[in-house]
């Protein structure tokens, strides 16, 4: 049985969302999003330990909250960096040499399911690198912005939908592969938006595990969660949004998923 360490980058400031509180510390049904996400990951028995990378001023409070969860598995809380990549790199330094696989999951993606976690771990165990993805439903255009106003772009190509996926987390890799990828990125001064990008540049294949079912329903679930932040003054939560019968917007859900 492979030993799996889960890393949760949770050091973001939430500036793009415009909230006073970073979204990993906002409340979802009375629980901070970070802890909600941690509980989802902890439901997977294959994960043997956790490393959370958070802001320096939050380390003590996060450590205390995590200890109160009594997960029965080691949880290390470390200082995050100025970027997601820096935060994951700091967490990698705390990963045991006995780890076979390293799973990275955004702390602000709390609705991941046990099935999704188990499927991406199994795929990575078989091929060394796997991520979660949602098949694209909309038409995707390639554009260029040179010599045009900032809010205007020129279409240069239409990309077939079957060649496009919306990248999610967890992303899981053979430990030695991910550590090497981060080492090379640091040496070359490369910063990527996700771990898969660093592994890809080494020429290694990365498999995509497609989310089960019709993507619309997955996105609708994510949108119900994001609604609590779209209108924070109304104190909406995932459950209260559902009770109000709101019809989810795929565009809104994607804006949150990629935040």
Same domain, 237 and 200: no
pLDDT digits (tens, 9 = 90+) for 114-169: 999 999 999 999 999 999 999 988 899 999 988 788 889 999 999 999 999 999 99
Could you tell me if 107 and 199 lie in one domain? yes
- Asked whether residue 242 carries a pLDDT value surpassing 70, the answer given is no
**What CATH number is given to the structural domain containing 87?**
3.90.550.10
Same domain, 183 and 232: no
Point out the domain boundary residue: 161, 182, 204.
204
- Distance of alpha carbon 223 from alpha carbon 244, whole angstroms: 13
142 located within any domain: no
For the CA atoms of 210, 178, 86, 254, the dihedral, rounded to the nearest 10 degrees, stands at -10
Spatial distance between the Cα atoms of 237 and 239, rounded to a whole number of angstroms: 5
125 and 224 in a single domain? The answer is no
- Residue 249 pLDDT > 90, yes or no? no
- What percent of the chain is predicted at pLDDT more than 90? 65
CA nearest to 36, candidates 247, 256, 225: 225
Residue 147 domain-assigned (yes or no): no
Chain mean pLDDT for the chain? 82
| Residue range(s) defining the domain that contains residue 234 | 213-259
**Are 118 and 221 in a shared domain?**
no
Is 11 contained in some domain? yes
pLDDT tens string 191-235: 999 999 999 999 999 999 998 544 444 444 555 555 545 444 333
DSSP 99-135: -SEEEE--TT-TT--HHHHHHHHHHHHHHSEEEEEEE
* 236 pLDDT tier (thresholds 50, 70, 90): very low
In the chain, the number of structural domains is: 2
Does 123 share its domain with 59? yes
Check residue 16 and give its pLDDT. 56
Using CA atoms, how far apart are residues 94 and 76, in angstroms rounded to an integer? 8
Q: Residues 72-104: pLDDT tens digits? A: 999 999 999 999 999 999 999 999 999 999 999
Is the confidence at residue 239, as pLDDT, over 80? no
């Amino acid at each position: 049985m492979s030993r799996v360490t889960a890393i949760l980058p949770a050091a973001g400031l939430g500036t793009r969302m415009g909230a006073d509180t970073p979204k990993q510390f906002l409340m979802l049904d009375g629980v901070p999003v970070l802890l909600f996400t941690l509980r989802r990951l902890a439901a997977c028995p294959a994960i043997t330990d956790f490393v959370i990378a958070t802001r320096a001023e939050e380390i003590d409070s996060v450590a205390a909250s995590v200890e109160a969860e009594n997960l029965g598995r080691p949880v290390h809380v470390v200082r995050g960096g100025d970027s997601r990549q820096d935060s994951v790199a700091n967490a990698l330094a705390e990963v045991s040499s006995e780890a076979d696989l390293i799973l990275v999951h955004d702390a602000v993606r709390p609705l991941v399911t046990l099935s999704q976690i188990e499927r991406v771990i199994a795929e990575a165990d078989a091929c060394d690198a796997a991520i979660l993805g949602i098949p694209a439903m909309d038409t995707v255009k390639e554009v260029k912005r040179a010599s045009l106003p900032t809010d205007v772009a020129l279409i240069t190509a239409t990309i077939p939908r079957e060649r496009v996926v919306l990248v999610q987390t967890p992303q899981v890799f053979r430990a030695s592969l991910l550590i090497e990828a981060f080492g090379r990125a640091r040496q070359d001064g490369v910063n990527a938006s996700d771990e898969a990008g660093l592994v890809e540049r080494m020429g290694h294949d990365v498999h995509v595990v497609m989310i089960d079912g019709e993507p619309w329903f997955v996105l609708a679930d994510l949108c119900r969660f994001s609604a609590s932040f779209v209108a924070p003054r109304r104190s909406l939560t995932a459950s209260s949004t559902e009770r109000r019968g709101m019809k989810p917007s795929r565009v809104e859900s994607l804006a949150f998923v990629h935040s």
